[in-house]
Amino acid sequence: MTVEQIEALLADVAAGRTTPPAALERLRHLPFEDLQFARIDHHRALRQGHPEVVFCEGKTPEQILAICERLEAASGTFLGTRASEAVATRLAARFPRVVWNQLARTVHLPAADQPKRVSQTDTILVISAGTSDLPVAEEAAVVAEVFGHPVERLVDVGVAGLHRLLVATEQMRRARAVIVVAGMEGALPSVVGGMVSAPVIAVPTSVGYGASFGGLAALLAMLNSCAAGVTVVNIDNGFGAAAAASRICRA
């Protein structure tokens, strides 16, 4: 039931075309959720300026194409994560302007008109511990950029060679939010968390073997960080970290 429909109903009551009990009956069952639905959608259009994001893993190229066509029709843009080369190829055949970031595994159709930046100054810094963590870090970076944030990257600064991290102290302290991506022992967020006062979002990766148990070791380490105020997202969830950072920088 839309606002217009409620207006019409109330007008009918005022005009005597509908009795109060009949109106009550309609309102009692009113699908307020439609209002809610519409409001939220509208909210998104106004506030966020970015499309829904498609998680491509486990979907066929045809399914992804169908979803992206619907998104493109509605908003003129779309973003997909965990996109294989097959998916990228299929989308590129239909949308020549689509951008495939092979490392980040993202597919993005930019809007025809340049989207407004959320901020020119609130930088999101994405730090990654090892080169194998780069796909997850790059996913975070690309998503944050598509969401309209300035992004900086700091790579290969594992805790076993601290000097590489320490030289970037000033860069870290300038960021409005810091995403720290690390596999194996997942120690980097604790170190970073002790060096900056900005929000630190830790992303454990499945990089490792044996007792890393697919990223569990890094996940547990990050949850137990001795640096107060470090928060954690799911293993390999670069997208989620970017979304969290975007919530922080958006307000």
Size of the site for a second copy (CB under 8 A): 109
- Residue of 83, 86, 130, 146 interacting with a second copy (CB under 8 A): 130
- H/E run at residue 146: helix 134-146
Residue 127's φ and ψ, nearest 5 degrees, are -110, 135
153 or 250: CB nearest a second copy: 250
89 binds a second copy (CB under 8 A): no
Through-space distance between the first and last CA atoms of the chain, rounded to whole angstroms: 31
- Residue of 2, 60, 102, 224 interacting with a second copy (CB under 8 A): 224
107 binds a second copy (CB under 8 A): no
Pairing of strands 124-128, 177-182: parallel
89 or 234: CB nearest a second copy: 234
Considering the complex, what minimum distance in angstroms separates the CB of residue 217 from a second copy?
Answer: 4
- CA–CA separation, 125 and 120 (whole Å): 14
155 binds a second copy (CB under 8 A): no
Considering the complex, what minimum distance in angstroms separates the CB of residue 121 from a second copy?
Answer: 11
Q: Contact at 8 Å (CB) between 122 and 199?
A: no
Query: 28-67: which residues touch a second copy (CB under 8 A)?
Result: 28-37, 39-40, 43, 47-48, 53, 57-59
Residue 24's alpha-carbon distances to 4, 9, 28, 117, in angstroms, are 17, 10, 6, 46
96 binds a second copy (CB under 8 A): no
187 binds a second copy (CB under 8 A): yes
Structure tokens at 187: 């120690």
